[in-house]
Amino acid sequence: MKTTFATLLAFSASLAAAIPLTSNLKPSPLKPRQACENTATSRSCWGNYSIDTDWYETVPETGVTREYWLSVQNTTMALDGYNRQQVLSFNGTVPGPLIWADWGDNLIIHVTNNMENNGTSIHWHGMRQLGTGEYDGVPGVTQCPIAPGETYTYKFQATQYGSTWYHSHLITQYGDGLQGPMIINGPATADYDEDLGMLHLNDWSHTPASALWDTAKLGGPPTMENGLINGTNTFDCSGSTDVNCVGGGKKFETVFEAGKKYRIRLINGATDGHFQFSIDGHSLTVIGMDLVPLVPYATDSVVISMGQRYDVIVEANAATNDYWLRAGWITACSTNANPDGITGIVRYDSTSTADPTTTSTVVASSNCGDEPIASLVPHLAMNVGNFSSSAVTKEELSFAFGDHFTWTINTTTLLLDWTNPTMLRVFNGESIFPTEYNVEPVEITTADPTWAIYVIQDLTGFGITHPIHLHGHDFWVIGQGTGVFDLETSALNLVNPPRRDVASLPGNGYLAMAFKKDNPGSWLMHCHIAWHASQGLAMQFVESESEISATIADTSILTDTCAAWSTYSATEVWAQDDSGI
């Protein structure tokens, strides 16, 4: 069967067999949408709200709860025609089932760990978890891992809207397939006819990522055999004597109708790979990044780093033909054995079965960072307000060798205790500080009541760009460049700078970020290259510590999950051998 956007959407619309929704949802009170209905010609509308609504301060109270069930499974699959063991999936699919809601809806997501010999925890990437930090899904920070046979129920409100994903946050599990798409419907900054849903771009190895870690932890990233688009691709098995090279892989396909405009939601879910997405013969209009709507801009390709998302609109204005859709592996950033073959197909004729003969006019990029910063203008303009020099904290990135290679921030590397997460320690009144690794307090002060400023300075000399992700917040990218940061002389942009949840730390350079002290909790900040996260390139914030306990609505899920994990880990097969994330 061909894997298409239509297949994905049909699947997501009929999830009863896989992830049943509640069948008696209350009608949304947002009936005044008739005054501003979201249609193909009015995508900026959303009932009583619009693209101009400040979603950090105002959230629709829809009265709707969306309920999902996810089963974490370990299985054998041939996603690209190579039969691979230890593929991790949600409900038997890679990527997992679509989780969707409307802006303001409440989500209840039951995650059951049906693996035999591993724990897990699931992170809802980019969701602020405002007042619901115990559901952020980070082992050792917000919860204990979910033991085999156990269930953890995540509950939170969709206070933002746009395109994101969910994935395991334990060891390298999302690199083995444990990730899925998440759409929160809301207004947009440009009109389009059809929403084609999420498009996962991934690297893919025929060896489990958990096994590749034995090589990666020594410092050098392994080269993977292939890549996937929405969980599928082809691999050349001709002449192979490997019994697992069974063939039968399929290219991702979708069909365009001439004259229509399509929204595509791009995700880089790779373990270690940068993409330059494009479609032969078509231009792209970018309307959003991460969960932040943008002033639209036109381009022929989009550079996407790990963990990032971009929403693009493509107009079907080319001649009737078949066209290559290209993930666009950027070879200057990392290696892959099939860099030019990570492709899909756009057809204007649904009956066509031919491979495209089109060629790309896109100039291959060597950019391992972000899209041009001048293009990334948030539609909802927000400036960074006043802050003192005492609000600025500089973090120095370096490295060390012990049993294996580790990244260090201010000389220490992250090493989490899965059995005693920070969230539970705070609730129990345990002392958090000082710590043996990177945990820092973020507190409201008289001098700086609103803004926290963090600058990460790369002192390694390696020249490697790192995609940095912050949990619990969007952050303002106020500085990003090569060389050494100096508060007095380095250029800072405080006037509506890019705002997102993953931004690149340039190799041998710095990333300066600002975020508001408005979400008490225990939040992780880390590199989204999976190998680097496992090697400890991460730190943790404890924000407004005295206010955290009051935000925890269900302490029993924390204590019960930790009790189950303690029982399991006493006889666990695989002990923790990385940072814990």
Q: What is the pLDDT confidence band of residue 576, given thresholds at 50, 70 and 90?
A: confident
Q: Compute the average pLDDT of residues 359-365.
A: 96
**Residue 436 predicted with pLDDT over 80:** no
3-class DSSP state of 212: helix
3-class DSSP state of 117: coil
Alpha-carbon dihedral angle through residues 191, 156, 201, 74, given to the nearest 10 degrees:
-150
State the Cα–Cα distance between residues 287 and 315, nearest whole angstrom: 13
The pLDDT, as a whole number, for residue 575 is 78
Locate tokens 């949802």: which residue?
A: 25
State the Cα–Cα distance between residues 365 and 275, nearest whole angstrom: 9
Short-list 542, 332, 512, CA closest to 434: 542
Q: The tokens of 416 are what? A: 């989490």
DSSP designation for 106:
E
* Residues 393 and 453 sit within 8 Å (Cβ to Cβ): yes
How many alpha carbons fall within 13 Å on the CB side of residue 145?
30
3-class DSSP state of 62: coil
Lowest mean pLDDT among 240-244, 289-293, 450-454, 569-573: 569-573
Q: The tokens of 327 are what? A: 């993930």
For 342-345, the CB contacts below 8 A with 24+ separation are: 342/201, 342/226, 342/227, 342/228, 342/229, 342/233, 342/275, 343/229, 343/233, 343/251, 344/229, 344/230, 344/251, 344/252, 344/253, 344/254, 345/251, 345/252, 345/253, 345/254
Q: What percent of the chain has pLDDT over 90?
A: 85
* Residues 286 and 303 sit within 8 Å (Cβ to Cβ): no
The pLDDT, as a whole number, for residue 572 is 82
Give the pLDDT confidence of 196-207 residue by residue, as tens digits. 999 999 999 999
More confident residue, 28 or 554: 554
Q: Compute the average pLDDT of residues 504-530.
A: 96
Short-list 557, 312, 539, 332, CA closest to 437: 539
The pLDDT, as a whole number, for residue 396 is 94
* Strand residues in 83-234 grouped as ranges (E): 84-90, 99-102, 106-113, 122-124, 151-157, 162-168, 179-185, 194-204, 226-229
Q: Compute the average pLDDT of residues 64-78.
A: 97
Residue 243 CB burial class (10 angstroms; 0-12, 13-18, ≥19): exposed
Q: The tokens of 195 are what? A: 């929403």
The pLDDT, as a whole number, for residue 479 is 97
Q: What percent of the chain has pLDDT over 70?
A: 94
Instruction: Give Cα separations from 333 to 299, 365, 399 (angstroms).
Output: 21, 10, 20
**Residue 357 predicted with pLDDT over 60:** yes
Q: The tokens of 168 are what? A: 């395991």
**Residue 478 predicted with pLDDT over 80:** yes
HEC profile of 74-104? EEEECCCCECEEEEEEECCECCCCCEEEECC
Give the pLDDT confidence of 111-165 residue by residue, as tens digits. 999 999 999 999 999 999 999 999 999 999 999 999 999 999 999 999 999 999 9
Short-list 441, 445, 438, CA closest to 389: 445
State the Cα–Cα distance between residues 112 and 116, nearest whole angstrom: 12
**Residue 23 predicted with pLDDT over 70:** no
* Residues 275 and 258 sit within 8 Å (Cβ to Cβ): no
**Residue 85 predicted with pLDDT over 60:** yes
How far out from the chain centre does Cα 281 lie? Answer: 28
The pLDDT, as a whole number, for residue 550 is 93
Is the pTM higher than 0.85? The answer reads yes
Highest mean pLDDT among 19-23, 33-37, 398-402: 398-402
The pLDDT, as a whole number, for residue 577 is 77
Single-letter code of the amino acid located at 373: I
The pLDDT, as a whole number, for residue 27 is 40
Q: What is the DSSP string of 355-400?
A: PP-----PPPP---S-S-GGG--BSS--------GGGEEEEEEEEE
**Residue 15 predicted with pLDDT over 90:** no
State the Cα–Cα distance between residues 314 and 283, nearest whole angstrom: 6
Residue 219 CB burial class (10 angstroms; 0-12, 13-18, ≥19): middle
State the Cα–Cα distance between residues 303 and 330, nearest whole angstrom: 9
Q: Residues near 578 by Cβ (< 8 Å), separated by ≥ 6?
A: 171, 172, 213, 217, 534, 535, 536
The pLDDT, as a whole number, for residue 463 is 95
Task: Give the chain's end-to-end CA distance (angstroms, integer).
Answer: 36
The pLDDT, as a whole number, for residue 438 is 83
Q: What is the pLDDT confidence band of residue 6, given thresholds at 50, 70 and 90?
A: very low
Write down the mean pLDDT value for the chain: 92
* Residues 142 and 422 sit within 8 Å (Cβ to Cβ): yes
